[in-house]
Structure 1
Amino acid sequence: MKQNETLTKHISLILNGLLLQGLTTAVIAPGSRSTPFALALAQLAREQKIQLFVDVDERSAAFFALGIAKKTNKPVLIVCTSGTAAANFYPAVCEAAISHVPLLVLTTDRPPELTKVAAPQALDQDHFFGNQAKDFFELPLPEINQDSQDYTNYVVQKSFQIAQSNPAGPVHLNQPLRKPLMPELPIKFNQDQQKYATLPNTPVLPTNLITELHASLQKKRGIILAGPNQRTTSNTAMLEWAKKSGWPILADPLSQLRGLPSLNVITCYDSLLKTKSDKLTELIPEVIIRTGQTFVAASLALFLKESHATIYSLDEGNKLNDYTKTATFSLDISSESFFNQLPPVSVHGEWLHKWSTLEKTYTSINKIDPTSTLNELDVVRVISATKNKERNLFVSNSMPIRDVDSVFQPSTFLRVFCNRGANGIDGVVSTALGISTKATDSLLLIGDLAFFHDMNGLMMAKKYHLKIKIIVINNNGGGIFSFLPQAGSPGFEDVFGTPLDIDIEQVARLYHAQYSLVTTVTNLKEHLSTPAHTLEIIEVRTNRKNNVDLRQELVDRFARQIAKEL
């Protein structure tokens, strides 16, 4: 068999195996060594078997794929050439690993005889992403050997299953290839290729454990602490259990619970804990059930430690992901399975009423001041008032997600996303654009530094005519550092404030975006009243120091209202 025939069959095995497992989307960062995969994927896209995106910036490409996978909860294939191209995937792989997003990372490589001998564009790509990859497989060179072909088919299908099995994560496939790199076109895909299937595994709690858990929770002051969670369907059982048991749910903005019509959902906890009110002694729980990933509010960490409560952590995959180190018991089970199996417990007096009363009090003061200049908290409040249930909100790290945590009380449910695994500001634009490919209405809230960090990502919006509204909070620097102890220190502005004086309008013009400078609440409401019809960049100019004062003023006002009413 000719070499290019062997190559063609090998590429066919890999991609057809992924199609058999359900692959629907791929992102390519072009390069020479990945030629056969690029041509084969282009063919599959023409045949409408997959959706294909091409991004010349590897870092942007990986985050773009991450966004698609976040939205769909299905593995997305990302492909690059050899050398430093793969290194640019690293930040997105880290984010996928910690936030449990399914990615299939296919790096092409020099053959063995060209590695570790200083050949051009060659790095040691064995286990290249280290512990950040959920698993790693070195694929064999294309061979006519049937055992090798069977192994290749098995491994690529297994990699897809590993990537999407809970907890999901990135799986790295490294594929060495020799020249010539041109496959025979069009590539033929074997309709009889063996498919490997798996059956879902739902953990079942032993009867005696359910009995013990139920008894330990009866008539207790209990709280459900719901952390970030991308699977919206998993909240139904929790909400029903909390309603019948009279337990409040402290809902992180990424829990996909805010905006749901439930008296159990509490959003005021961050500001409440910062008030240091005497009323907090009445709110100390005896039992806490933790779900989801690491919460946004740092105030909750101290709350957990000082409560001395019995804490049950629903830790699917048994990762022991608890930086507070407060969990009394860790259960390897999903929130959905846990609350479906555990019977509701008896209501503890006025416990829920105390929390819901505080929530109503906070809602009454968490209002827009129509006489004030548009500020960073009011931007979030305007977003909260949206009536579009189809809207997907992506929030950047640093100050935007913290502002959302504090004042985001949506009138209707909005799906909220954020890269809260590694909590970086790199790749935010690209991730949001990836989500927009699978959404009818997308909105990104981002600061000027994070926007600058990933401006290259805007090219994908221009290239693929993506529809998204991007609100850029331009306070000319790193706003979050104004809340830290180093604020005001000599040299602070140079090494932490880092003003860049970005001309957002010029950036918008570069990427053919519609630009608006918004200065009033009314104007912002008008801009957000309809879905995006193109790439729209909305600039809101603010003052960094003012945001510090605004947040403290909100906490102080809440404290005064608690003292007055309760």
Structure 2
Amino acid sequence: MNPSSMHAEVVVDELVRCGVTDAVLCPGSRNAPLSFALQAADASGRLRLHVRIDERTAAFLALGLALRSGRPVPVCTTSGTAVANLHPAVLEASYAGVPLIALTADRPPQMVGTGASQTIVQQGIFGGAVRLAVNGAPGTAAEENARLRSAVDRVVAAALGSTGGPPGPVHLNMPFAQPLVPDGVGSAPEGRADGGPWVEVARSTRTSPPLPLDPEAPTIVIAGHGAPELDAPVPVIAEPASTLWPAALRCGPWLLGNAPKPAQVIVAGRPTLHRPVQSLLADPDVAVYALADPAGGPWNDVPGVVRAVGSMPRLAPDPSWVQRWRDADTAAAKTLDHALDDPAAQTGLRLARALVAALPAGAQLVLGSSNPVRDVSLAAVPRPDLKVLSNRGVAGIDGTVSTAVGAALVHDGPSFALLGDLTLLHDTTGLVIGPDEPRPDLTIVVLNDGGGGIFGLLEQGAAEHEHAFERVFGTPHRVDMAALGAAMGVAHTVVDVDGLPSALGPAAGVRLVEVRAERATLRAAHEELRSAISAAVDATI
């Protein structure tokens, strides 16, 4: 067997021994050795292979697979710009702590810098975004087997956070010399006889002392992406992708600035959705503490005011304090539902409430960035029987279709996604799934308001910027979603919010459910609703 084919088979074999069950592959010439090895592993049932034509889409597919499963997932590319297209997903994986493996083919070192086609400097291309970057050493001798298997074990351990740092993406760059296809002579060196990895790496564990706060002081917990599971006897305001969302106050984000101000706040994970949350954390009259990340990641502290980092202490809040927040939440929820029961109310909030309520138990919901995740946070009733995911590491809209497809391929139950129209259009290649590829059952609900609705809620959406807003922020489009679905071989239907539940029955393959909306009244509708909720809470407390 030629050296390139041998090294590729060793890499794939060791990845499987390390627990890899899914791999994503993009076509290319320089990564042909890995392509043959991955195909063989798929054919023998050792892993499940997913082939995609677009490296950026492929990387987010791998991200979705890893995000939902918790297992490392490699995405394999050829050399050159193919590698650069992995960078957005690598960044998301880095900030979200997802074990993504960038498995890239490269030209031999002597070809770099010579003007060879599809050749760039790939070593270090992801900079500090990866937990570990390893360059596979070329060689022809069988003794390379141990060194290469050890390198694979090292990058997998780093991806899983078993080497002392938090989990996240890693880069294994493999220089391959010609010939790049199997020659049928010889075989790849064997691994351990017991089938395990070459190096067994134990998962590291971390403990922290309790936070030095006043256990009886008025306290709330603010939870975002990556928050650890905990049972807190105080009001909790949690984002939908947080593990604490099912136990959180329904209208928590609406209450800030209206309900009684806490003396101290405990931050769990990375809350990033709501500006009132950031205002509270920056309030000099509020003591802010952060829960330590069990995986060893950094704590969240945008304004630089956190007083201590540690584990959750035993809290003994005044029951009347907790009850005042519950009463405020009840009053806010009543006002919110009364407003959203009106068919003329803001469509995004109505859609978010209706979708979450209509999903079957055990369902998975992937939320797009911008308005969808915020609409769910502001309008939906939290449910403990749903798995909610969102790309909140860097919170971009790129690759969300592919993330949802990857998560659906792993989830044992029905899968759904709620996306904005621009988020869908940004990743239309995520809908391109070859006829021989594993295909999930996934319903993508698209709120189509013909552009970038979230900007209407930000400073640039104010009346004084109206002259420039629509073209450079609203970014209107005229894409026919039905035609897009037909081109991609994806079923499409249009419903209104009231007709949504009937469109969410069992799905076969990927389908689009389009809900149309207007952006022009979005800002005014939010301001009117916020005023109504504030008045209701003021009357309660």
Normalising by structure 1, we get a TM-score of 0.88
Say whether residues 1:563 and 2:538 are aligned partners.
yes
- Tell me what 1:285 maps to: 262
Instruction: Write the letter of the residue equivalent to 2:392.
Output: R
Say whether residues 1:257 and 2:207 are aligned partners.
no
C-alpha separation in 2, matches of 1:374 and 1:497: 17
Superposition deviation, residue 349 in structure 1:
3.8
> Secondary structure at 1:78's aligned position in 2?
strand
* Residue among 259, 278, 299 paired with 1:301: 278
Superposition deviation, residue 311 in structure 1:
2.3
Check the 8 A contact 2:290/2:300 in 1, yes or no: no
Say whether residues 1:190 and 2:190 are aligned partners.
yes
Consecutive unaligned residues in structure 2, runs of 5 or more: none
- Tell me what 1:507 maps to: 484
CA gap of 1:28–1:119, structure 2 versus 1, over 3 A, is same
C-alpha separation in 2, matches of 1:153 and 1:347: 53
Check the 8 A contact 1:253/1:408 in 2, yes or no: no
Identity over the aligned pairs, expressed in percent?
30
Superposition deviation, residue 187 in structure 1:
5.8
Q: How does 1:411-560 map to 2 (within 5 A)?
A: 411-439=383-411, 440-460=413-433, 464-487=438-461, 488-519=465-496, 521-528=497-504, 530-560=505-535
Instruction: Write the letter of the residue equivalent to 1:545.
Output: A
* Residue among 301, 323, 327 paired with 2:302: 323
Check the 8 A contact 1:13/1:152 in 2, yes or no: yes
Deviation digits for residues 30-57 of structure 1, max 9, x if unmatched?
1000001111110110111101000010
- Tell me what 1:335 maps to: none
- Tell me what 1:11 maps to: 8
- Tell me what 1:313 maps to: 290
- Tell me what 2:322 maps to: 352
CA gap of 1:470–1:266, structure 2 versus 1, over 3 A, is same
Instruction: Write the letter of the residue equivalent to 1:79.
Output: C
- Tell me what 1:401 maps to: 373
CA gap of 1:51–1:403, structure 2 versus 1, over 3 A, is same
Q: Cα RMSD between the aligned structures? A: 2.1
> Secondary structure at 1:290's aligned position in 2?
strand
Check the 8 A contact 2:345/2:525 in 1, yes or no: no
CA gap of 1:310–1:509, structure 2 versus 1, over 3 A, is same
Superposition deviation, residue 502 in structure 1:
0.7
* Residue among 206, 219, 223 paired with 2:220: 223
Consecutive unaligned residues in structure 1, runs of 5 or more: 332-337
C-alpha separation in 2, matches of 1:472 and 1:385: 17
Runs of 4+ with >6 A deviation = none
C-alpha separation in 2, matches of 1:471 and 1:92: 23
Q: How does 1:23-422 map to 2 (within 5 A)?
A: 23-144=20-141, 146=143, 148-165=144-161, 167-184=166-183, 190-192=190-192, 195-205=198-208, 209-210=209-210, 213=211, 216-229=213-226, 234-235=228-229, 238-239=230-231, 242=232, 246-259=233-246, 262=247, 265-273=248-256, 276-277=257-258, 280=259, 283-306=260-283, 308-316=285-293, 317-331=296-310, 338-339=311-312, 342=313, 344-367=314-337, 368-369=340-341, 371-372=343-344, 375-422=347-394
C-alpha separation in 2, matches of 1:551 and 1:184: 65
CA gap of 1:64–1:518, structure 2 versus 1, over 3 A, is same
Instruction: Write the letter of the residue equivalent to 1:249.
Output: V
Superposition deviation, residue 405 in structure 1:
1.8
Instruction: Write the letter of the residue equivalent to 1:196.
Output: V
Superposition deviation, residue 371 in structure 1:
4.1
C-alpha separation in 2, matches of 1:358 and 1:91: 41
Superposition deviation, residue 419 in structure 1:
1.1
CA gap of 1:53–1:495, structure 2 versus 1, over 3 A, is same
Q: Which one has a larger percent helix, Structure 1 or Structure 2?
A: 1
Normalising by structure 2, we get a TM-score of 0.92
C-alpha separation in 2, matches of 1:553 and 1:62: 41
Instruction: Write the letter of the residue equivalent to 1:26.
Output: A
Check the 8 A contact 1:315/1:321 in 2, yes or no: no
Instruction: Write the letter of the residue equivalent to 1:359.
Output: D
Check the 8 A contact 1:387/1:412 in 2, yes or no: no
Instruction: Write the letter of the residue equivalent to 1:272.
Output: L
Check the 8 A contact 2:370/2:397 in 1, yes or no: yes
Instruction: Write the letter of the residue equivalent to 2:530.
Output: V
